A and B are shown apart, each in its own frame.
Chain A
Amino acid sequence: MNFNLTEERQMLQDTLRRYLREQYGTERRSKILESETGFSADIWTELAELGVLGALFTEDQGGFGGAGFDISVVFEELGRAGVVEPVLDSALLGGRLLAAAGKSDLVEQVIGGALHLAVAHGEPDSRYDLDHVNTTASDGKLTGRKAVVMNAEAADHLIVSAKNGDSIALYLVDKGATGLDIQGYPLLAGGRAAEVTLDNTPGEPLGLTLADYEAANRLALIAQCAEALGAMETATALTKDYLMTRQQFGRPIGTFQALAHRMSDLLIELEQARSAVINAAGYADDKDADLHLSASKNLIGRIGRLVAEEAIQMHGGIAMTQEYELAHIAKRIVMADHRFGDTDYHLERFIALSAA
Chain B
Amino acid sequence: MDLSYSPEEQAFQTEVRQFLADELPKEIAEKVRLDQDLTKDDMERWHAILNTRGWLAQNWPASFGGAEWSAVQRHIYDTEAAAAHAPRIVPFGFSMLGPVLQKFGSKEQQDYWLPRMLDGTDWWCQGYSEPGAGSDLASLKTKAVRDGDHYIVNGQKTWTTLGQFANMIFCLVRTDPDAKQQEGISFILIDMDTPGVEVRPIILLDGTHEVNEVWFTDVKVPVENLVGEENKGWTYAKYLLTHERTGLGGVGSSEAGLKAVKRIAKAANHNGKPLLENPHFAARVAQVEIDLRAMATTNLRIISKAAAGEAPGLEASMLKVKGSILRQEINDLARRAVGPYAMPFASEAVEGANDRIPDPLDAGPVAGQYFNNRKLSIFGGSNEIQRGIIAKVTMSGGA
Contacts and interface: CB of A to CB of B under 8 A. Distances in A.
B343 A313 contact: no
Nearest to A323: B203
Contact of B341 (A147, A309, A322): A147
A259 interface: yes
Contact of A259 (B343, B356, B384): B384
Given A248-B136, A334-B370, A344-B280, A188 B384 contact: no
B300 interface: no
A309 B368 contact: no
Contact of A127 (B205, B328, B339, B387): B339
Contacts of A334: 335, 367, 370-371
B378 A125 contact: no
B378 A316 contact: yes
A320 B202 CA distance: 9
Contact of A188 (B135, B284, B368, B374): B368
A305 B342 CA distance: 15
Given A309-B374, A338-B339, A342-B339, A186 B345 contact: yes
B347 interface: yes
B256 to A, nearest CB: 22
Interface stretch (B97-105, B116-124, B143-151, B265-273): B265-273
A313 B377 contact: yes
Given A248-B139, A312-B374, A335-B367, A322 B343 contact: no
A70 B382 CA distance: 42
Interface centre among A188, A195, A258, A344 (most CB of B within 10 A): A188
Interface string B154-169: 0000110000000000
A188 B344 contact: yes
Interface centre among B203, B205, B357, B358 (most CB of A within 10 A): B205
B353 interface: yes
B398 interface: no
Interface size class of A (residues with CB under 8 A): 35 or more
A330 interface: yes
Contacts of B159: 317
A188 B345 contact: yes
B331 to A, nearest CB: 11
Nearest to A337: B336
B270 A127 contact: yes
Interface in A146-182: 147-148
B367 A188 contact: yes
Contacts of A343: 336
B205 A330 contact: yes
Contacts, number: 136
Given A309-B374, A327-B205, A334-B370, A148 B344 contact: yes
B397 interface: no
B146 to A, nearest CB: 28
Nearest to B375: A320
Interface in B271-289: 271, 275, 278, 280-281, 284
A195 B344 CA distance: 10
A148 B341 CA distance: 7
Nearest to A312: B374
Contacts of A183: 356, 358
A147 B340 contact: yes
Interface in B343-399: 343-347, 349, 353, 356-358, 360, 367-368, 370-371, 374-375, 377-379, 382-384, 387-388
Given A189-B343, A331-B371, A347-B280, A125 B360 contact: yes
Contacts of B271: 129
Nearest to B203: A322
Contacts of B388: 258
B340 A128 contact: yes
Contacts of A79: none
B353 A185 contact: yes
15 contacts: A183-B356, A185-B346, A185-B356, A189-B343, A193-B343, A248-B135, A248-B139, A316-B378, A317-B378, A319-B205, A328-B205, A330-B371, A338-B340, A342-B336, A344-B336
Given A124-B358, A193-B343, A316-B378, 13 more contacts: A124-B360, A148-B343, A148-B344, A185-B346, A185-B357, A188-B344, A316-B135, A317-B158, A317-B379, A320-B375, A338-B339, A339-B340, A342-B336
Interface of B: 129, 132, 134-136, 139, 158-159, 202-207, 268-271, 275, 278, 280-281, 284, 328, 332, 335-336, 339-347, 349, 353, 356-358, 360, 367-368, 370-371, 374-375, 377-379, 382-384, 387-388
